A and B are shown apart, each in its own frame.
Chain A
């Protein structure tokens, strides 16, 4: 007699993902699918795809989905959630999408306490367009538009989004996690599950920032990219819970 101990989540399609080896998107997609499976919400979830590497999200999930304009997923998610207050609405956004062109939309969706869950992938670079500087690119980090490394005098400073949004009253839950180690992946799943459960319970806006990797545009191997997350990214973007209304935080 055999026992299944590991299988693909039911909410993922059979489409082969296009992500590069060592990229965090695949891991986070799986985490989302596992959480939605466990919550029995496959037929009740709507996911808002960003502009960026995750633009192909509609092909990967068995949920209703929409391609959002660059940065506008929180606004589009607002429109969807207001029509479908009983659905689970997820926006999935990268750092250029959310923290640059979409900064107004994310701040105001959070301030309004829109009952959506934003999954924010922070890998410090524009992936899809080929490695340009992101609002979260670390000081000194190379990008195709900061070729000598980000010079904060010239290019300004990175933005810590979780800290920034946690000053608002609208969010119910904000946590920054990472997916560079198995232990961090387990914590990331707990955070995403909690965020989705808070949404189900109508507690308010929820966001999980995932510090992730981009080996291709960082110019690192898959393994080295994961090490970079732990050594460089996490010290600048400390992991932890920044807002939790249930904990009085």
Chain B
């Protein structure tokens, strides 16, 4: 080989290798240390200072195991997979999307640096993404086929019959690093780590979620057990377990007025007359002991009244009907994983609880009690329900100060079915004792807030899920006068219109007759 040819060859090599070198791991390290290390750790092992305040935990990059990929089970992710997770984040976890923060180049540098934490990327080279076919349409028959497969390949064992993460294996699930991991609630697709669309679900079924108990089902296609089309039907069925859109959060819960009596049973068809209002809940991280791993992430609320009684139907997803000894091991794992640990003994069998909070009187000005169980100047009135003691009224002037109220007219009926609690509260609008108890009135917005505890998750006391203040509005019967003013307005407008036309035409006629 001549010298010129050698130089040319070398230059060509350099030119080919340049795109790879353009990924600047040094710049990636700077960005990583500044923005990522506090959760994922400076060494990439997922043990940053904030890691103990999260469940699921931040990813450990040293293992090379990644949940959200387009590659086969056990394979490394592609660069595009890592870019996608960094830019879009992981719904249902503490990982945000960084698209608004980092440029494309910065994300590429970060990917290069993150891959450096594991030797596997260098050892095995660039992985090949799987071929994903096109999504066939899914009609009712396809969804039925998807349901049949859901039963046949035993998705329900972890995810439960209705997909609420309440299958018999759910309390036994740990990831590869022995951290407890929840079977996804398939009826809340906005929390799916890899995205909630049918194609996202299909990909998770094909690739599995490495490092978690979620396997890949690609081998079922390879072995001829099911077709690719059937896999799409299964994905479409799983998607159908969630509502079409993520529920919108609204400030005011409308309690519709019904004729006759309000329903007392959870399954009464009268409830279908009103839409459910979604109230998101998050961990109580304000007063000690704080709680960073709440089991309940939202409530669905329906309200009705009949002019004498208010009925409130609260539904929430909870995979365990606590107290349930089957979940004791889980409770222990959570206690070892999350900081600060639960105050309750990890072996204590705790009930599930729900509290609906109101002020003790309808506020006249802008002032409301502190949303977290009130304060000494403005106490709150509570509807308490627990799975072991039923419903009671109580009173509080700050977290940890609750005192039960004797007597009272609150009643409640509760049932747990397929991973969801439904509690129906009923109380007369008028209070027996107005000093401690709220009297409800229609036609005004009344502050309302909610707190929930999942006993099998080790929650008790201040360690709970909370909401801030919302309002409940008891609708008034529509007064007849409402129809009077529109009719009057129409008559006046029409009369004026006719008058204007009549005058213009008369003037026109007069004008022409004068000519």
A binds B: no
